[in-house]
Amino acid sequence: MVPAGNPLLDNLRIEPTPGATTLVIFGASGDLTRRKLLPALHTLSRGQRLPARFAVVGIGRTELSDDDFRQQFRESLREHAEVTGDDDVVRSLEGRLSYICGDTGDPALYERLAERLKEIGGADGVLYYLAIPPGVYSTVVERLGAAGLAGTPGRGWRRVIVEKPFGTDLASARALNELLHRHFEEDQIFRIDHYLGKETVQNLLVLRFANGMFEPIWNRRYIDHVQITAAETVGVEGRAAYYEGAGALRDMVQNHLMQLLALVAMEPPVEFSAGTVRDRKMDALKAVQPVSLEGENADAVRAQYRAGWVERREVPGYRSEPGVGVESTTETYVALRLRLDNWRWAGVPFYLRTGKRLPKRTTEIAIQFHRPPLEIFRRVSPTPLMSNLLVINVQPDEGISMRFDAKIPGTRMQVAPVMMNFRYGTTFPGEVPEAYETLLLDAMLGDATLFARHDFVETSWALVTPVHEAWEEHGDTSIPGYEAGEWGPQEADSLIARDGRRWRTL
């Protein structure tokens, strides 16, 4: 009888590693594999986070030999991980890489994959990573199922990582989930949203539920409103073909921003486990009311960037980007006002905004508290008092800031707002793991806490799809504009100004 647990893992400072695993990457010669996956594997290996028995099987249409794939691995480390040396860890890891060239629609490819898995020596766990265009998901999943490679054998496991987008609307998301569920159980499916792998996003759970001081005031009695911002300075960057079919609403709001909203709004889970955390996030999402699209009081604004100046240079408007139609109405900016109908959040608006070609690359959650009920310093303070603010910086300067009022030193009673800042990089120096490292490892360990569940995906699409459809039905080619380098269109300012508030200038 084999002892079930590993007695040497007790309180080991190096965190537990997964059991024997073979990672099968579909799209192994692609950009995601080069930029993210291979560097992440190297970092995990260097940190002893990979299992003793570990192998990678790359699958792609590009004709590569095993040696070519290993060469690609070395190049990927050089270009994207600044690993220039040919150290022993690199050599040891690359010896575990192999490659199969083939068409994902060809059943013979899966026979060869089955043989390769057998040759590798009966790895207990197989993790399929679909680093391929969403249009090919169905083919790969169907073929894996037909070849008997999706089912969980004896003591082993089979899991699949799916990259976003998880559909393009509610119907396609449901279809994708149905397809996946035909061959994989939900606990085998890991829908990756790299935002959830970021340290600050995980720290949001710690901030809220490991401290006693925040939760009592985390509700409508003390919070005035919440602003969630995900701003990019880049344009479509050669991704026009994808972006024209997506737009900011589907590219950013449906997944990343909804995940952030759920983490802010969720009730405390009774334990830190995948099921409970995701249940509470779902409760929060279910409380979000349909977005009002009524005329001038619509709670959704879309816009598209025009030519402007950003990142110290002049940039063209969206419609002048290569691959974008001159009459394109694809939105590059979205602002939403969301209402959550539950006891905690009734009457507290959540304002979400995201856009490309904004002045700064930054993602943050700002919790704006109510003003004090009585402003006893109003007569002596030269400036209006400001309400307290808690800002969670997700990127690029991960950290938390709190704004409160303080007396300006001097003989007069003058009050001014000050910020108290916590920055990860200063308090916890050292390398912060890349989101893909965290998420790859979690998938190997079978921990789905930081992955999107099917019901979350569908509920999120159910909120977003009517907005998108309404915009589609609008039909004409007019869409509000904003200059590249501005903080969005006038219409977004009006959306929040209707409530007597304004966006934070970041």
Residues within the interface to other proteins (CB under 8 A): 1-3, 6-14, 17, 19-20, 45-48, 51-53, 87-89, 91-92, 155, 383, 386, 389, 403, 406, 408, 416-419, 421-423, 426-427, 429-430, 502, 504-505
Contact 301, 480 (CB under 8 A): yes
Tokens representing residue 404 in the block = 């409160």
Q: How far is the CB of 181 from other proteins (least distance, A)?
A: 30
> Nearer to other proteins by C-beta: 240 or 358?
358
Tokens representing residue 159 in the block = 């899991």
- Sign, CA torsion 432/437/441/447: positive
Burial class of residue 134 in the structure, from the number of CB atoms within 10 Å of its CB (0-12 exposed, 13-18 middle, 19+ buried): middle
Tokens representing residue 136 in the block = 């090919």
Q: How far is the CB of 385 from other proteins (least distance, A)?
A: 10
For the range 265-270, what are the long-range contacts, defined as Cβ-Cβ under 8 Å and sequence gap of 24 or more?
265/340, 265/344, 265/345, 265/350, 267/344, 268/208, 268/209, 268/215, 269/209
> Nearer to other proteins by C-beta: 91 or 498?
91
User: What is the spatial distance between Cα 26 and Cα 303, in angstroms, rounded to a whole number?
Assistant: 36
User: What is the spatial distance between Cα 490 and Cα 301, in angstroms, rounded to a whole number?
Assistant: 10
Alpha helices in 347-481 (DSSP H): 424-427, 435-445, 454-474
Q: How far is the CB of 386 from other proteins (least distance, A)?
A: 7
Q: How far is the CB of 366 from other proteins (least distance, A)?
A: 9
Q: How far is the CB of 72 from other proteins (least distance, A)?
A: 21
Tokens representing residue 443 in the block = 């998938």
> Nearer to other proteins by C-beta: 169 or 398?
398
| Residue of 255, 271, 265 lying closest to 285 (CA atoms) | 265
| Residue of 217, 219, 214, 192 lying closest to 204 (CA atoms) | 214
User: What is the spatial distance between Cα 411 and Cα 393, in angstroms, rounded to a whole number?
Assistant: 36
Q: Which residues are catalytic?
A: 256
Beta bridge partners of residue 57, listed in sequence order: 24, 98
Tokens representing residue 211 in the block = 């401290």
Contact 486, 308 (CB under 8 A): yes
User: What is the spatial distance between Cα 329 and Cα 357, in angstroms, rounded to a whole number?
Assistant: 16
Q: How far is the CB of 196 from other proteins (least distance, A)?
A: 24
> Nearer to other proteins by C-beta: 458 or 486?
486
Phi, psi of 394 (to 5 degrees): -85, -40
Q: Give the distance, in angstroms, between the CA of residue 399 and the centroid of all CA atoms in the same chain.
A: 17
| Residue of 202, 284, 173 lying closest to 451 (CA atoms) | 202
> Nearer to other proteins by C-beta: 52 or 326?
52
Q: Which H or E run includes 119?
A: helix 107-120
CA atoms lying within 13 Å on the CB side of residue 426: 6
> Nearer to other proteins by C-beta: 11 or 411?
11
User: What is the spatial distance between Cα 81 and Cα 125, in angstroms, rounded to a whole number?
Assistant: 27
Q: How far is the CB of 306 from other proteins (least distance, A)?
A: 25
Q: How far is the CB of 223 from other proteins (least distance, A)?
A: 15
Tokens representing residue 36 in the block = 């993210």
> Nearer to other proteins by C-beta: 417 or 480?
417
> Nearer to other proteins by C-beta: 155 or 313?
155
164 dihedral zone (left: phi>0; alpha: psi -120 to 50; beta) = beta
Q: How far is the CB of 135 from other proteins (least distance, A)?
A: 38
> Nearer to other proteins by C-beta: 85 or 212?
85
Contact 335, 463 (CB under 8 A): no
